[in-house]
Structure 1
Amino acid sequence: MSSSRSGNLYAEFSRIVTKDLLKSLLEGLDAMVPSLLEAYKAAVASGRRLAMSGVLQCLQKEDTNQNRRTAALLGLPIFFAEDSSNVIRMCDAHGETLDVILKGMQVGLLIGHEGPLLDSFPLEVFNVAVVVEEKIILHDLRDVPTGFAMLMGAIYYLNLEYPRNMKYSFEFLQKVIMTIKPDQCSARIHGLRNKLLRYHL
């Protein structure tokens, strides 16, 4: 997807929901990151989501604002016990060919990193791409949060459904993080939002 097409994506998203695509995701995310990370820690401590510990350990290695955002986003499907394998994939610059990596991806993100992946998510990302129907439609995005914003924009722009395997994660992004139709949450998302608000108190 060219820069002009990504501009169209921005414009169409703004027309549909009257919000700035990247700003609404980043501002909403930054407001929720502390509470989300607390919820993740509590889930690990209770033994319910041990897989989340790897995400939290990445922050112990390098606790930057960008990595906190990335941990919050990539932790969502783990928190909801969803299978993100066909939606979010990591790609070593010198690993498998793109055809192999993209197989089975109907809509999602490809996160490019240098060298073998030793952590739950790469601390050094060099490229993030948006994938639709096993094809890269937008690439050279600078980081994972921007990738998620553009993925949400592409879903709106192309009038796609959210991936079924990650429906709660995407509903949370839409209704809690980006506050698009926030009063139409499912019971599960409504419950998590209330729990996160309690962490704020």
Structure 2
Amino acid sequence: MDQTVMGIYNVCHEGHELDDEPEDIRVIIEGVETICSVMSVAVATAMLFGLMYTLNLSYLRELKTSFEVIQKVFFNLHGQRLSPKVQALKNKMLE
């Protein structure tokens, strides 16, 4: 996790089954666990976006389109200005 720029981690006990709840959900930024004991991945995602906005962090180049979809399509933040890739995906989702 030290080299993780940002991410959401499910912490599970050994022998964890896929349908078991994780022991903990954590938000990592620049290798540091910034938030622990989050109640769901959805809440962790919202918290990650809030931290990125508050700390004025840029989206990772590799995940830029994914973050744009979450921000503009699912969260509907600045949803009127979409990149061509995201607009095409949104149109397909609405078909």
Corresponding position of 1:103: 2
Cα distance per residue 1:72-119 (max 9 Å; x no partner): xxxxxxxxxxxxxxxxxxxxxxxxxxxxxx132112212111224665
CA distance in 2, matches of 1:181, 1:113: 35
Aligned residue in 1 for 2:27? 130
Q: How far apart, in 2, do the equivalents of 1:116 and 1:174 lie?
A: 35
Could you report, residue by residue, the CA deviation over 1:15-74 in whole angstroms, capped at 9, with x for unpaired residues?
A: xxxxxxxxxxxxxxxxxxxxxxxxxxxxxxxxxxxxxxxxxxxxxxxxxxxxxxxxxxxx
| Unaligned segments of structure 1, at least 5 residues | 1-101
Query: Which runs of 5 or more residues in structure 2 are unaligned?
Result: none
Q: Which residue of 1 aligns with 2:80?
A: 183
RMSD, aligned α-carbons: 1.6
* Distance (whole Å) between structure 1 residues aligned to residue 44 and residue 90 of structure 2: 23
Match of residue 157 from structure 1: 54
Identity %: 28
TM-score, with structure 1 as normaliser: 0.44
CA displacement at 1:190 relative to structure 2: 0.5
1:17-166 alignment, distance < 5 Å: 102-116=1-15, 123-166=20-63
User: What is the CA–CA distance in structure 1 between the aligned matches of 2:64 and 2:15, rounded to whole Å?
Assistant: 29
Q: Name which one, 1 or 2, has greater alpha-carbon Rg.
A: 1
One-letter code aligned to 2:7: G
* TM-score normalised by length of structure 2: 0.88
